[in-house]
Structure 1
Amino acid sequence: MSGSVMPPDVIEIRGIRGIGRHGVFEHERADGQEFVVDVRLELDTRPAATSDDLADTVDYGVVAEQVHAAIENDPVDLIETLAQRIADLCLADRRVAGAAVTIHKPSAPIKVPFDDVVLTVQRRSGETS
């Protein structure tokens, strides 16, 4: 496959949990509810594999803390807005070529039995939100 671009490597962080006050209903803002976020970061991990130095890769502990803060702060009406915010913070690191963000809202205000409400957004570096 001469001349082809290698697909990026992937770091995933699954199940970042936090209590957020996101939603369009007053009780969602007042009471808050659990949100669960999964992030998938596409990047080239070869520099870090060669150097064995954290400075040469994305620190997934820092990303997890940033995602948690996004869940718990600055409420928004829509999970689409929250997902975009999280994608933007993931792409702020120049090494991240793409990010997928999945938001789970298992306690969404739906009047029928259900397991989960899930939204996934996929963004590439250089796209504008």
Structure 2
Amino acid sequence: MTDETAIAFELPHVRAAATAGDQPHDRISVRDYVRDVEIGAFLSERGVTQRIRFNVVLEVAAHVAAQDDDVDKVISYDTIVQAIEHQLGAERINLLETLAERVAERCLTDRRAIRVFVRIEKLDRIPGALGVEIVRMRKGVAAVPIRARAPLPDDAPIPAVSCADDRAALDAVSGPTVLCVPPMGAVATDPAGEAARRIALLAYDQGAWAFAADDSRCTVVATRTELDWALRKGLICIWAPSKIVLDTMPAPADLRRETLAAWFEALLNR
């Protein structure tokens, strides 16, 4: 039996070989793939990039590609690279664990894939490297579906996003509704630089809290989880946009209220 402790810090291809069992599979790998990425849950990690290193090994079913020398019969190395690049471009992620899960999930969509080892490390947070490694196996015959990044569960109501800010208009609200209310004070609608952009978004957050404070029917929502909960409770949602805007790619550059509302409604209906 393999001593898992002894190989705990080996690269994924070594761990894959050591845990292969009696019938080892073929493997393709991408090693030391380094990208500059905005990732992390700390405020100091927002608005900046850091080096992230990927090591991925994908175990695949046996094939006759070597005998036939036929590129169409093998899983391309690009399968791994594209899985990484697709997820990096899809959205901003806080946790390495989440990024590793998404990369593994996408690699396993190919029916010939059997097991994947994904190691992701941050290279700039400490003098060495800190990271996470996961091992995932495709179950059954059908490919593992890529997780649809639906903002709400399937049975949740999809709300309209309104710019109405007249409190009297709240009496006419029917059905699931999200309000994008004016910011607290004047803001730049096309802010130059990360600091100005964050200040403008925080002004919208302040406006949301001020608006909701005077009406018990309203609640401030800053995340999709909060939105789902509030809609199920029948509350009127006042959107504090900074978190979702900063966490989503591509985010709107134009911070006019009408533009933000239209962008958020489109996001909810993806």
Q: With structure 2 as the length reference, what TM-score do the two structures score?
A: 0.41
The one of 13, 20, 31 aligned to 2:30: 13
Q: Quick check: 1:117 aligned with 2:166?
A: no
Whole-Å Cα distance in 1 between the matches of residues 115 and 81 of structure 2?
16
Per the alignment, residue 86 of structure 1 pairs with 103
The one of 71, 77, 81 aligned to 1:54: 71
Change (3 A) 1:100 1:80: same
| Contact 1:22–1:75 under 8 Å retained in 2 | yes
Which secondary structure state, in structure 2, belongs to the residue aligned with residue 50 of structure 1? Answer: helix
Please list every run of at least 4 consecutive aligned residues from structure 1 whose deviation after the TM superposition is greater than 6 angstroms: none
* Matched ranges for 1:66-77 at <5 A: 66-71=83-88, 73-77=90-94
Per the alignment, residue 54 of structure 2 pairs with 37
Larger relative contact order (C-alpha < 8 A, sep ≥ 6)? 1
Whole-Å Cα distance in 2 between the matches of residues 65 and 27 of structure 1?
28
Higher strand share: 1
Which secondary structure state, in structure 1, belongs to the residue aligned with residue 59 of structure 2? Answer: strand
Amino acid at match of 1:15: D
Amino acid at match of 1:70: Q
| Contact 2:87–2:103 under 8 Å retained in 1 | yes
Which deviates the most, 35-44 or 59-68? 59-68
| Contact 2:60–2:112 under 8 Å retained in 1 | yes
Which secondary structure state, in structure 1, belongs to the residue aligned with residue 53 of structure 2? Answer: strand
Which secondary structure state, in structure 2, belongs to the residue aligned with residue 10 of structure 1? Answer: strand
| Contact 1:42–1:98 under 8 Å retained in 2 | yes
| Contact 2:96–2:131 under 8 Å retained in 1 | no
Structure 1 position 70, deviation (Å): 2.4
Structure of larger gyration radius: 2
Percent identity between matched residues is: 27
Q: Quick check: 1:107 aligned with 2:101?
A: no
Alpha-carbon displacement from aligned partner over 1:80-113 (angstroms, at most 9, x marks no partner): 00000000011011111000000011123xxxx5
Whole-Å Cα distance in 2 between the matches of residues 27 and 73 of structure 1?
22
Number of aligned pairs? Answer: 122
Which secondary structure state, in structure 1, belongs to the residue aligned with residue 103 of structure 2? Answer: helix
Structure 1 position 73, deviation (Å): 4.4
- 5+ residue gaps in structure 1? none
